[in-house]
Amino acid sequence: MTNIGQMMKKMQEMQSRMSQLQSELADAEVTGSAGGGMVSAVMNGKGLLKRVKLDTSLINPAETEVLEDLVVAAVNDAKSKADAMAQNQLGKLTGGLPLPPGFKLPL
């Protein structure tokens, strides 16, 4: 019975740390950029876009397609960084616990 009690305690600790990690990821920010930094996208660690910044020299009605492509590239760059940050933090939480391939804990 001691093993079950210890396991339950460990699960409660992990659940508490997971809640803390989710809060930290929601507060953390990563910035993705494109066009040599002329377009940047800021995203939180949970992958939610917070803001986009455009260099005013890009604002040309005749070139909206280029601007749209740069915004997409910046957002994708930020999303990639947010995912990497979340995975890094999750790795710290699980302490090297072997999870099946493709298994993701809810963040």
- Domain with 71 in it: what CATH number? 3.30.1310.10
Domain contains 21: no
Domain contains 42: yes
> Domain tally for the chain?
1
Q: What are phi and psi of 58, to 5 degrees?
A: -85, -15
Residues near 25 by beta carbon (within 8 Å), at least 6 away in sequence: 44, 45, 46, 85, 86, 89, 107
Q: What is the predicted pLDDT for the residue at 35?
A: 94
Q: What is the predicted pLDDT for the residue at 71?
A: 94
Categorize the per-residue pLDDT at 11 as very low, low, confident or very high, splitting at 50, 70 and 90.
confident
Categorize the per-residue pLDDT at 4 as very low, low, confident or very high, splitting at 50, 70 and 90.
confident
CB 43 within 8 A of CB 27: no
Write the pLDDT tens digit of every residue in 52-107. 999 999 999 998 999 999 999 999 999 999 999 888 888 777 776 665 666 665 55
Full domain range(s) for residue 63: 27-93
Domain contains 22: no
CB 43 within 8 A of CB 79: yes
Q: What are 60's two structure tokens?
A: 């040309």
List beta partners, residue 51: 42
Domain contains 46: yes
Q: Which residue has better confidence, 40 or 93? A: 40
Domain contains 54: yes
